[in-house]
Structure 1
Amino acid sequence: MDVSPDKRERILQAASKLIVQNGLQCSMSAIAVEAGVATGSLYNYFKSKEDLVRGVYGRVAEVMTGRLAAEPEAGISHRDRIRRYIADYIDFIWEDPLRARLFEYLDNNPLMTINEAGAIFSPFVDHSSAMLEAGQREGSVREGPASLMASFVRGAIRNTLKRRRTNPAPLTVLEREQIAGMCWDAIAVHG
């Protein structure tokens, strides 16, 4: 069996691209062509299309967790840590339009239940909730379910940037700061 990390990554990238372009009806053979592998090779890595879709989302979750769920720097306040997380999440979603569109498919993916999606993204979701709970204990984040607030912030960023992409101009520093400020203002304790 011919199994290599590079080939697996090419398959995941090809599947991501074709899911965004064509939806979930893209065929395994089209994914194989895009990845530059034989169709039979796909099944060395993923036993079914459903398994491949889980792999695509698992890869996105892995990258997102690696980028955004880093241990806090010593001495940084929870307030500053959350504000940095918001800014980094904006950058993460803005920098890769294909990856950003994959989130749209995740919300409407009939091949995975919401519980399966939740399990795939749980390390990242748990991290952001714990970060907001620490902010609540510090007194900088309003009371309420931290997971709900974290979901609100992430969704607001994704939806705002989705609509902003209709403008071909680069995202400006002012726009980025405005989005980050609105997200922070929605969850912060004021006064």
Structure 2
Amino acid sequence: MARPKSEDKRNAILSAAVQVIEEQGLGAPTARIAKLAGVAEGTLFTYFDSKDALLNALYLTLKDELREALAPDFPHTENLRERALYLWTSYVDWGVANPHKRKVMLVLSASERITEQSRAVGMQAFADAGMLIADCIARGHLRDQSPAFASAIMGALAETTMDFIVREPRQRQKYLDAGFNSFWNAVTQS
């Protein structure tokens, strides 16, 4: 009879994958991930059928963690600007607090190894954010553009904001405000 899988081992493998992928990219060997997680390589494949399955699970885990960071006190009843500011601040704060995960999520998001199914599941978790961006677009300068384009603009501005906050943490609020105002002015006319 097979032993039940341990959530602790699964989490150790995912945590090790973040570290190894950050250091070596997606070509990182599973043997290195397993060693860092403190498990045999065969054990890694007990939890994940293939390296691609591991990468997709890691992608969804990181997306879920980010969603949790955005969701706790989302101000559903506030005006559009306040909801956008909340989303912005929560995203930037998560990225600054989790630079390794942020980097790996960017690598995974750009990878062809992440399935369309994983991408769809990952995006379902951000329905509020998607609707918020669509509302911003409908009111402003980007009304003829896709939500993906506006999201990419937001992502690029957020990444720049995160980078500057990491370099100059004492200037956090200054960069947070400047980044948000740049995004807000890009997508709205108000």
TM-score, length basis structure 1 = 0.82
The match for 2:132 is 131
The 5 Å alignment of 1:61-100 reads: 61-69=63-71, 72-73=74-75, 75-100=77-102
- Pair 108,77 (structure 1): closer, same or farther in 2 beyond 3 Å: closer
The match for 1:184 is 184
Range that drifts further, 9-18 or 125-134: 125-134
- Pair 75,28 (structure 1): closer, same or farther in 2 beyond 3 Å: closer
Structure 1 residue corresponding to 2:104, chosen from 102, 105, 115 = 102
Percent of aligned positions with the same letter in both sequences?
21
Gaps of 5+ in 2: none
CA positional deviation for 1:171: 5.5
Distance in 2, Cα, partners of 1:166 & 1:74: 29
Structure 1 residue corresponding to 2:8, chosen from 6, 9, 12 = 6
Paired positions, count: 186
The match for 1:122 is 123
Distance in 2, Cα, partners of 1:166 & 1:73: 27
Any conservation in 1 of the 2:62–2:105 contact (CA below 8 Å)?
no
TM-score, length basis structure 2 = 0.83
Gaps of 5+ in 1: none
CA positional deviation for 1:71: 7.1
The 5 Å alignment of 1:166-177 reads: 167=167, 169-170=168-169, 172=171, 173-177=173-177
Distance in 2, Cα, partners of 1:72 & 1:165: 23
SS at match of 1:25: coil
SS at match of 1:24: coil
- Pair 79,6 (structure 1): closer, same or farther in 2 beyond 3 Å: same
CA positional deviation for 1:92: 1.4
